[in-house]
Every structure is written in structure tokens, then in C-alpha cells.
């Protein structure tokens, strides 16, 4: 069974979307349920979808020198996997259910349909994604600075 409009309003990803747009998400999507330890996707795999956590917790893991390390977690109303919606690179992490989870899956195809049907809602959704990615990048920058890790040199054409 899918989510309801009121439930979607709690998720920042859908902030500013109209009731009509939210009703389409409700109509077109079901919630996936996974048990503790189930893998949502694996690091290095191709991906063209993202997930919203309705209940439970998902841990994001990265393998460095053969050791799997938890780099983040996502819980109620958070989302993950959005990088694969914006680029064509392989998954940067493995996503695994840390507990029983309920997830809403959105695909690149879903975004393309939203773009074609409702440009305003599409724009708001992508802007909400970008804001969260910016917040996460700022947090990562702060952690690196606190650890004393120097910033990488940018290529000359990156300015």
C-alpha cells in the first residue's frame, strides 16, 4: 500500500509541492518493506533511483581498503540515493537496512514524467534535493576541517 498525501507532506523532499502533485506520487508509488540487514543497493552498482525513508533506519556504507565503514545513516523522512538521479556514475555507497524499513522508491523515469507533466513541481523537487545535498556537503566540509584535512586543489577551470 502506498503513502498518503499527509505523510508525504512530512518529507522535506516534497516541500512546496501541491496537493495534486502529492496525490500523483501517492497514486503512482508503493512502499517497499525490507528487514534488518537487507540491501537496498550496492556500492559500485548502476543506479537510477532514490528512496525516501518512511520508517526505520538505513545505513550507508563505503568500502575502503577492503573494510566496510558506515559513513551515514538515514531515518524517518530522510532520503538517499539521489546522486544517481543526477549523474550517471555508479553508486558511491552500499545502502542496507539497519532495522526494518519502509521506503518509497522514486526513479529517474518518475522525475522525467514529473518534468513533462508539472514543471513547477519538478523544479521544487530538484531544488529540495539540491538544498539537502548542499547541507550534507557543508557538514562533510566541517568534519574535514575539524579533522585538519586540507581541502583538495581545484582544477584551474573549476572556478
The 10s digit of each residue's pLDDT in 26-85 is: 888 879 999 999 999 999 999 999 999 999 999 999 999 999 999 999 999 999 999 888
Mean pLDDT of the chain: 89
DSSP 56-81: SEEEEEEEETTEEEEEEEEETT-EE-
CA dist 55 and 142 (Å) reads 29
State pTM to two decimals.
0.85
CA distances from 45 to 29, 66, 98, 133 (A): 23, 17, 20, 21
Tell me which residue of 55, 40, 51, 49 sits closest to 7, measured CA to CA.
55
Which residue's entry shows cell 566541517?
Answer: 142
CATH number of 5-143: 2.60.120.10
pLDDT in tens, 97-144: 999 999 999 999 998 999 999 999 999 999 999 999 888 888 877 877
Amino acid at each position: 500500500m502506498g503513502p498518503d498525501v499527509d505523510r508525504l507532506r512530512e518529507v522535506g523532499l516534497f516541500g512546496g509541492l501541491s496537493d495534486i502533485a502529492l496525490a500523483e506520487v501517492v497514486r503512482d508509488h508503493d512502499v517497499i518493506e525490507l528487514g534488518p540487514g537487507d540491501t537496498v543497493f550496492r556500492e559500485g552498482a548502476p543506479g537510477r533511483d532514490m528512496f525516501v525513508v518512511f520508517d526505520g533506519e538505513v545505513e550507508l556504507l563505503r568500502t575502503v581498503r577492503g573494510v566496510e565503514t558506515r559513513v551515514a545513516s538515514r531515518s524517518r523522512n530522510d532520503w538517499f540515493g539521489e546522486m544517481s538521479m543526477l549523474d550517471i556514475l555508479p553508486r558511491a555507497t552500499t545502502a542496507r537496512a539497519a532495522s526494518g524499513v519502509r521506503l518509497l522508491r522514486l526513479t529517474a523515469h518518475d522525475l522525467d514524467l514529473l518534468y513533462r507533466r508539472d514543471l513547477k513541481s519538478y523544479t521544487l523537487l530538484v531544488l529540495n534535493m539540491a538544498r539537502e545535498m548542499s547541507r550534507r556537503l557543508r557538514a562533510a566540509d566541517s568534519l574535514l576541517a575539524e579533522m585538519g584535512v586540507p581541502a583538495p586543489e581545484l582544477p584551474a577551470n573549476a572556478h
